[in-house]
Amino acid sequence: AEVLIVKTQEEAGAIYAQAVGEAIKANPKLVLGLATGSTPHTAYQALAKKVKDEGIDVSQVRGFALDEYAGLDPEHPESYHSVIRREVVEPVGLNPELINVPNGALETLPHAGADYDAAIEAAGGVDIQILGIGTDGHIGFNEPGSSLASPTRMKTLTEQTRIDNARFFDGDLSQVPTHCITQGVGTIMKARHLILLAFGEGKADAVAASVEGPVTSICPASALQMHPHATFIVDEAAASKLQ
């Protein structure tokens, strides 16, 4: 994989916005893979600015989010349906009807994963997938031990991820859902270009394991070593454990 070390999150955001903005100009029906969490924030802000400044037509851009909580009302402010709408769709001005988030409704969960993978395939696959990384090397909600060939499916959230995400639920762990639906590592690997962002010392071990460690399901992001076009954009703190 290619590793770019940047000084600031804004610099990382600008690189993402440049790649995506130019790709949309070349292909107005570009398919974006979208992540939630704190990491992509500056990237979405930079993309929104570039789209506005250059008057880029994003009306036909399609999108697929990585994951969603299971059994959480999509209208809940912390559902990934809501987060993607608030942090990406609205600021960038995307057409909400073309943006997909996995369906976390309990009734349809047994087949929602296969339905989602079929929808991605029908759209022609994801062109540019943005990723964050967990301190344990997870991508999407694929925790350590997830098959590197996994499709989109339901998963149980680890205690650690629920504790990490409690900050979005008034710090109340009991409010954090216990299950989720996530694009699989195999699904993510089908995207044509992966851009993984990581900032801060807390991500340094996970970045080193992903870039320089063995390819193993114990560190799901290590699968990116097998991808023909994967770009890590990390700040100096997140790069600090690289050889």
Query: Is 164 noted as a catalytic residue in this protein?
Result: no
- Closest residue to ligand F6R, based on beta-carbon distance: 132
Query: Is 136 noted as a catalytic residue in this protein?
Result: yes
The site for ligand F6R (CB under 6 A) is made up of 35-39, 66-67, 132-134, 138-141
Catalytic residue among 78, 87, 138, 235: 138
Classify 48 as helix, strand or coil: helix
Number of alpha helices (DSSP H) and beta strands (DSSP E) in the chain: 9, 10
Query: Is 2 noted as a catalytic residue in this protein?
Result: no
Query: Is 54 noted as a catalytic residue in this protein?
Result: no
**Shortest spacing between CB 66 and ligand F6R, in angstroms:** 4
**Shortest spacing between CB 221 and ligand F6R, in angstroms:** 9
DSSP 102: -
Which of 56/79 has CB closer to ligand F6R? 79
**Shortest spacing between CB 232 and ligand F6R, in angstroms:** 13
Which of 17/180 has CB closer to ligand F6R? 180
The first and second tokens of residue 84, run together, are: 């993607």
The first and second tokens of residue 124, run together, are: 């022609």
Rounded CA separation 32/209 (Å): 26
Q: How far apart are the first and last CA of the chain?
A: 14
Rounded CA separation 140/153 (Å): 11
> Which residue numbers are catalytic?
67, 136, 138, 143
